[in-house]
Structure 1
């Protein structure tokens, strides 16, 4: 591989993707397991007839079907081969990539892009047949390091591979890995408030269109010296997750978790619609994290763009509504109804899921406040923790490290006092407690914050905003367990088994003999 000084070619030069494998059997029928399940749950089961409530929470819960047919994947990996990757890091990356190659099937396609001062497409988007895998492994085995770190150029070439496709698999995604800071001088821009921004250098095809990006970019900060803010910004702008791989040896497991999700996309183009039923009910706000939401001007309806869901993956959203006082004879108030339109990823069939109406009882008097819904309270706990993690990041970036630690410690105490947190057996709350303890220990000391704390905070923000497990916590038994899907967990187990067979290293299912190459620095 040479460090060419020519600019990246236009997208038209990459219209050479290998044709898709044509199905030989009958077309797949819609899933017979009932598809996506949508439910609603009210904050309290009852409100006194003469009382009104402001910002009354209704939880909308969507769960994708499990064990469905898998949709084929178009995957582009954009890999940093700058000089700082020399040695063990490059070898670990090669092993992790060989593992990824082994997990892809003959209907999946892969393209490998590398970047240093410039970017190169090493392999076209090719099906992972036996021949395709062998070719991809040769390219990966020949990786060598070069000067410079042009992250933006790597993204542009990766985007050109995807945008230039003549044919498209049902699912597409990009993995971006870097261990350093962009050295091109064109990556960082300064916003009006003085903060750094990273959206401008990104290719237009990478950005969100009609609410969702063409393909999510899942970013991996490799080691302690990467630009966590930039990597987080890329993931946030495209609907991907940002993972901090502080333990370099964990890169294969981190890739495994990400690829396990991409290979198990069950639902696409999911969109939740919420409609008010009672004439006096109004939607005031939707707590949807990274997912775009819209509330109608009159408050009578709202929508959430959910996008893709992995096999068995879940999403929870809080819809805050105004509940008016009831008429003298009104025993039940029907608040809202929720429905979800989506496509089955494997078949392309359009489907519709609907939840029973969310209702509250309206007794003439409430002598005792009813117990709140544990599910709703758990989501309120998660959202509050997410907001304080973001607040701690702002404080620490402003040099207020002690204040950032206090924010997290205060939130930890609040979680411990909450009903689900005090029980001690709620997996979500236990994971949040562990996360808050870990983060508070990393942000209080300025040096530790700059080394690992900022990246961990940003990875946590990314995971919570997407409600999706990132690759940073593969060494933990409980952290972010609320977001793990069985397929993601299964892929990590396969990774660890393959590592054990190699005697502790990370590789694919079959040991791969990597080519020895001279590394240019």
Structure 2
């Protein structure tokens, strides 16, 4: 194609998205934002734009001359002078920058004539946040060359682990061991009574860190990031900022690999230690991301799983983070939604029970993501699903998750329950999403818990059949086995036997508030699931009714005790009711909100979700101190960004709940 002398051809682009009168165009690693009428209606338009060199932090006022040409069916055509170009058009953009001495660095157009006021308001924030590589010097292409080598068939090029540095801080890393506490529904049962359903709460709490920053288990983290066309513009800028926070948070013993996917997937770099050099190179690789193409989640996860499976060396903690803002456009192109098998998204090599099992923590970004798929991927892999409703909350959501992953103290935990006295039988275990089993003879059972973060807690409600007896009855003995995540030492922990008294006559005694609270939490979770099923079938009034009934039960108990956890569940149910009242509300945010809540309650682990401002201070009952600390660090760095883009944050530091709920019941 002919072009004017002195005009630099920046290449082809085939994906152009229009949002609020702005076209975001990807040109070989460069994002250029233009008023869309400049692209589609006129040619050879001259306009003044402000450009920011994201590596040198310079603002350049330049004159850009755009020559827009139209190509149809592989043939070079005449300049496009009409707004009705075909949807799949390929444009060639030639530009001349009159005051720039070099074109080797990346430039991002932030504002220009006739740009919407919303973009102008974000100009200052973007100028601060798009600079991901501080202190950049030299040629960008040379700096990024290490990340652009052809992919090999086997990803065994992970960077070596510094074992000497890793073991230096092992001693005194945590204080104590896992705590096991048990709470019987009642302290006594009349000796002549055979109790068919008797509840016991088994409560576990992970140890604390003495120093969470200097002594912890190192992490292998693989982030699988959606860079499809729908992520263009502010979304991609905020994703880069969030990844910058993650990179700066990881330590020199942690390793990071990044997979970027759109229609296909590409590994930006192998597992690399986040030393000073590693961080700088990772930041530069992240800054090179551009948005284009479709959404192929399965291909992204396949490549992420391969990084985990093929690595030569292993840090003691490993996880995958998946973020997407859209529907998969490749895996299920013509399938009926009711028949979709989401397990095909997750590579078999990393499923639970395999030697390379790794949790996938998924993040659905915005209102258009496939929350059903993202939730299913998390459930299948024993991970969590978070809903990022507001654009400005992506960094906070990542921060909360990273705060947990960087504080793992327990691995491969398994809870075992053994019935002691004759006639006592184990009838059920309420374990949420955790795999549990009860022996055929009902004399024992187990729960596979997996990893625990520092200070993290788990509660499992079991039910027993208790025979008639005199004196006292020894019901169960709980035990735990797990690996210390830092020393990798096998630990077995024996809990105390659970005993109840058997008086000759009936007695009045109070029900355990801990058992009462856990029972209501479990029942509320089941009702949330039932309401979601009703909403999926289109029965929105029924979904509202289910949530309303459970909310009234909780309000009755809360009126007697003012228990904070009851109040939090009440507010959460009210929020869900509002989001399932109509099909529009449910599809807009209700489905994602409910699935994120179910993920949190079923795994008893904090997730981010699109809560209202009043609710966020109450419902995050599973946040650990490490999560709160990391979240506060995130919000301290650029609070103005959160205020500008996210007036309703999805995650906030928690209020801790009291443990007092006096309830009386007559024992016959």
Following the alignment from structure 1 to structure 2, what is the Cα–Cα distance between the partners of residues 32 and 244?
32
> Which residue pairs with 2:138 in the alignment?
none
Aligned residue for 1:391, secondary structure, equals helix
Contact kept, 8 Å, 2:593 with 2:610, in 1: the verdict is no
> What's the secondary structure of 1:91's corresponding residue?
helix
The answer as to 2:260 corresponding to 1:114 is yes
Q: How does 1:341-490 map to 2 (within 5 A)?
A: 341-368=481-508, 370-418=509-557, 421-423=558-560, 425-472=562-609, 476-490=615-629
The residue correspondences of 1:164-243 to structure 2 (distance < 5 A) are: 164-186=310-332, 194-209=338-353, 214-243=357-386
Distance 1:109 1:26 in 2: 18
Write the distance in 2 (CA, Å) between the matches of 1:2 and 1:45. Answer: 70
1:67 aligns with 2:209: yes
Give the 3-state SS of the residue equivalent to 2:546 in structure 1: helix
Structure 1 residues without counterparts, runs of 5 or longer? 4-8, 507-521
Contact 1:41 1:376 in 2 (8 A): yes
TM-score, normalised relative to structure 2: 0.71
1:408 shift after superposition: 0.6
Shift of 1:425: 3.9
Q: Report the Cα distance in structure 2 between the residues aligned to 1:149 and 1:92, rounded to whole angstroms.
A: 19
Q: Please state if 1:281 is matched with 2:424.
A: yes
Q: Tell me which residue corresponds to 1:271.
A: 414
Displacement after TM superposition at 1:464 (Å): 0.7
Q: TM-score, normalised by structure 1?
A: 0.90
Using CA pairs below 8 Å that are at least 6 residues apart, which structure has the higher relative contact order?
Answer: 1
Contact 2:345 2:377 in 1 (8 A): no
Q: Distance in 2 between matches of 1:485 and 1:261?
A: 7
- Do 1:186 and 1:201's aligned partners in 2 also have CA atoms closer than 8 Å? no
Counterpart selection for 1:338 from 478, 488, 493: 478
Task: Say whether 1:99 aligns with 2:236.
Answer: no
- What is the aligned length? 492
Once structures 1 and 2 are overlaid, which stretch shifts more, 474-483 or 226-235? 474-483
Tell me the CA shift for residue 285 of structure 1. 0.8
RMSD between aligned alpha carbons? 2.2
- Note if 1:262 corresponds to 2:366: no
* In structure 2, distance between residues paired with 1:21 and 1:410: 56
What is the Cα deviation at residue 477 of structure 1?
A: 3.8
Cα distance change of structure 1 residues 188 and 47 upon mapping to structure 2, 3 Å threshold: farther
- Secondary structure at the aligned position of 1:28 is classed as coil
> Which residue number corresponds to residue 133 of structure 1?
279
Q: Deviation string for 1:270-311 (max 9, x for gaps)?
A: 111100011110001111111111111111111111100000
Which residue number in structure 1 is paired with residue 194 of structure 2? 52
Aligned to 1:309: 452
Structure 1 residue 495, shift from structure 2 partner: 0.1
Conserved in 2, the CA contact under 8 Å of 1:219 and 1:242? yes
Q: Which moved more, 1:316-325 or 1:468-477?
A: 468-477
What is the deviation of 1:498?
0.5
| Mapped partners of 1:413, 1:197: distance in 2 | 36
Q: Distance in 1 between matches of 2:151 and 2:358?
A: 19
Output one character per residue of 1:326-351: Cα deviation in whole Å (capped at 9) or x when no partner.
1xxx2211100101011110111111
Long gaps (5+) in structure 2: 1-26, 30-149, 646-668
The answer as to whether partners of 2:189 and 2:502 remain within 8 angstroms in 1 is yes
Higher strand share: 2
Cα 1:294/1:213, change in 2 over 3 Å: farther
Task: Report the Cα offset of residue 34 of structure 1.
Answer: 2.2
CA distance in 2, matches of 1:120, 1:338: 47
Larger Rg over CA atoms: 2
| Residue of structure 1 equivalent to 2:63 | none
Where 1:35 maps in the other structure, the secondary structure is: coil
2:158 corresponds to 1:14: no
Please say if residues 427 and 482 of structure 1, whose CA atoms lie closer than 8 Å, have aligned partners that are also in contact: no
CA distance in 2, matches of 1:23, 1:189: 52
